[in-house]
């Protein structure tokens, strides 16, 4: 295992430990807590919290001050998967190779577990003793903007409404920017903010953050065409079955790969211009654009 | 119309106006926003925000500083109704005499509209220019504690799990304290906090707040037995149909009324001991315990 893989595992473990700690501390014992622990236990790459923590580390600041925000963003991501998997939405039985919450428990529990996780994401930021009130307010404001009705939820609704319809590339980009991009951007922006970065550096990191969501989504679309169902943990070809517009469908697989690589170049260039130790972050971008699940 | 009714209408209008303003400002145009506006448009007593605003007014402080928190709590309440009405939960087709969101739109939209409203509840507090960061953090922390997996969501899950089972009175109280009580308490506590009340007065208001949830819930249970379906806007007798344990079932209707009146006395006594202009609040408690819907 190389240094990047070591660091990745280290961050993943740190995030998982805190997630379990927060859930056991702030969610009452019972069925909702069990369902949430099941969904955390199913694993996941923890891309968003790792982006946040490694951004702070890249600035040479104390990344443990990012734990609450890192877990908050992973909680928002996890709640959105629990709700998206529901029969009324994507109707998925498997997630990360495990039965989805409404399969392992039931629909009502899945709805409530998602609601509790979303609520907890804001709570854990307020409960952190290492952050100032100004920092907490900034994090909660940016996280709610990125994840609510002008961010992730808006993108999810518009993604569903676009099924079976022909959408143009700009529309697809705008949907993904809201559905996936804003939350990934939040990770970088929150990390730079907690590191007290200069305005100039902050702007470069913002630019990097903006294209990251597109890189991530295009690779998701490509994996749905070319990927290995076992590695991904859910069936491939589901986008085609759902008649979803995707990058490979609009640009062809090769065109989609080319488009993604252009974004990777933009991200790496922005990163190099920002004055920080970018080794891990550059490797993470490479990892995201070449991952097989 | 008496002075109390006038004040009630005034507060309701002020809350509705701000709710619409916040939703139009912070939720992107489209189906999610339309669904949220539909649910706000269906009306409601706005008990929670009015408790908050009138508590501030009772202290002689500027109640407009409570608008964000007041709307936040009503958003949490409204999201919980949207999700509770879903087929997987209570499966209700009518709410406040109007089709529920999953009937007027569809299930996916109801899930997403609830998620967006919950997220917005925290966002509007962060966006308010009249509150300090310390005040925002206090409000968000208390609201998330009251509404998440150690508050409202926990109560809702345990209420569902108790269906068809015999529960004892203490258990029923604990379920309702979480399901309804904590959010009502938050209204009073947030109002007292924003008024910079003394610790002593705060404690008396807290005591009043604690019994308010029980008063509210017992009257809800009584209305389900004795109420008029047209006034309530949903079918009566649904608790019996769902095999839910209720106060009238455990204590008889007269016993439940007696229990509620004892709590009303406690609430009014605590209120009188707190040094504030309690005319409206006392009338509000009377209104809550004698309401017909």
Q: Which two tokens stand for residue B5?
A: 């009714």
Across the interface, which of A116, A140, A178 has its CB nearest the CB of B153?
Answer: A116
Residue of A nearest to B127 (CA): A141
C-alpha distances in Å from residue A166, one per residue of A161, A230, A258: 11, 30, 22
How many angstroms away from the CA of B86 is the closest CA of chain A?
9
B150: chain A residues, CB-CB within 8 Å: 26-28
Q: How far apart are CA B51 and CA B284, in angstroms?
A: 8
Q: Which two tokens stand for residue B219?
A: 């009257």
Residue of B nearest to A25 (CA): B150
Across the interface, which of A107, A132, A161 has its CB nearest the CB of B31?
Answer: A161
B260: Cβ contacts below 8 Å, ≥ 6 apart: B214, B215, B218, B219, B222, B247, B289
Residue B229 confidence class, pLDDT cut points 50, 70, 90: low
B31: chain A residues, CB-CB within 8 Å: 157, 161
Across the interface, which of A32, A132, A136 has its CB nearest the CB of B153?
Answer: A32
Interface contact flag, A26 B153, Cβ < 8 Å: no
> Rounded to 5 degrees, what angle do the CA atoms A136, A138, A139 make?
65
* ipTM surpasses 0.90: yes
pLDDT in tens, A165-185: 889 999 999 999 999 999 999
Across the interface, which of B86, B119, B157 has its CB nearest the CB of A32?
Answer: B157
Contact of A35 with A100, CB cutoff 8 Å: no
Instruction: Estimate the share of chain B in helix, then strand, then coil, as percent rounded to the nearest 5.
Output: 75, 0, 25
Structural domains of chain B sorted by starting position, each given as residue range(s) with its CATH number in brackets: 3-290 (1.10.600.10)
Q: How far apart are CA B237 and CA B256, in angstroms?
A: 16
Among the listed residues B276, B151, B136, the one whose alpha carbon sits nearest the alpha carbon of residue A115: B151
How many angstroms away from the CA of A152 is the closest CA of chain B?
9
How many angstroms away from the CA of B174 is the closest CA of chain A?
12
Interface contact flag, B36 A149, Cβ < 8 Å: yes
Interface contact flag, B157 A111, Cβ < 8 Å: no
Q: How far apart are CA A36 and CA A75, in angstroms?
A: 10
pLDDT in tens, B119-155: 999 999 999 999 999 999 999 999 999 999 999 999 9
C-alpha distances in Å from residue B176, one per residue of A35, A157, B7, B216, B257: 22, 33, 28, 10, 16
Interface contact flag, A120 B86, Cβ < 8 Å: no
The one-digit pLDDT tens for each residue of chain A (293 residues) are 589 999 999 999 999 999 999 999 999 999 999 999 999 999 899 999 999 999 999 999 999 999 999 999 999 999 999 999 999 999 999 988 889 999 999 999 999 999 999 999 999 999 999 999 999 999 999 999 999 999 999 999 999 999 888 899 999 999 999 999 999 999 999 999 999 998 888 888 888 888 998 999 999 899 988 876 555 555 556 666 667 788 999 999 999 999 999 999 999 998 998 888 989 999 999 999 988 87
pLDDT in tens, A250-270: 999 999 999 999 999 999 998
Q: Which two tokens stand for residue A264?
A: 């990777």
Q: Which two tokens stand for residue A71?
A: 């877990």
B163: chain A residues, CB-CB within 8 Å: none
Residue of B nearest to A79 (CA): B115
Q: Which of A83, A137, A162, A190 is the best substitution to test chain B (most B C-beta atoms within 10 A)?
A: A137
């Amino acid at each position: 295992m190389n240094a990047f893989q070591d660091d990745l595992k280290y961050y993943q473990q740190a995030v998982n430990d805190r997630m379990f700690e927060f859930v056991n501390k702030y969610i009452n014992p019972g069925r909702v807590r069990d369902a949430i622990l099941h969904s955390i236990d199913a694993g996941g790459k923890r891309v968003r919290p790792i982006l946040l923590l490694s951004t702070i580390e890249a600035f040479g600041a104390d990344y443990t001050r990012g734990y609450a925000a890192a877990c908050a963003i992973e909680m928002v991501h996890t709640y959105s998967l629990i709700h998206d998997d529901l029969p009324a939405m994507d109707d998925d039985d498997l997630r990360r190779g495990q039965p989805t919450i409404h399969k392992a428990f039931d629909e009502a529990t899945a709805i409530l577990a998602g609601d509790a996780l979303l609520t907890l994401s804001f709570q854990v930021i307020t409960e952190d003793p290492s952050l100032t009130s100004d920092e907490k307010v900034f994090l909660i404001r940016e996280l709610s903007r990125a994840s609510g009705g002008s961010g992730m939820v808006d993108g999810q609704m518009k993604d569903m409404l676009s099924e079976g319809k022909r959408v143009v590339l700009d529309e697809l980009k705008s949907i993904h920017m809201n559905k996936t991009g804003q939350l990934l951007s939040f990770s970088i922006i929150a990390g730079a903010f907690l590191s007290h970065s200069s305005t100039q550096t902050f702007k470069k990191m913002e630019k990097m953050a903006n294209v990251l969501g597109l890189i991530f989504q295009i690779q998701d679309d490509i994996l749905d065409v070319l990927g290995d169902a076992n590695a991904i943990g859910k069936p491939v070809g589901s986008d085609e079955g759902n008649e979803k517009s995707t990058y490979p469908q609009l640009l062809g697989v090769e065109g989609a790969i080319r488009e993604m690589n252009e974004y990777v170049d933009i991200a790496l260039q922005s990163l190099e211009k920002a004055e920080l130790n970018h080794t891990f972050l550059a490797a993470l971008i490479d990892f995201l654009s070449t991952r097989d699940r």
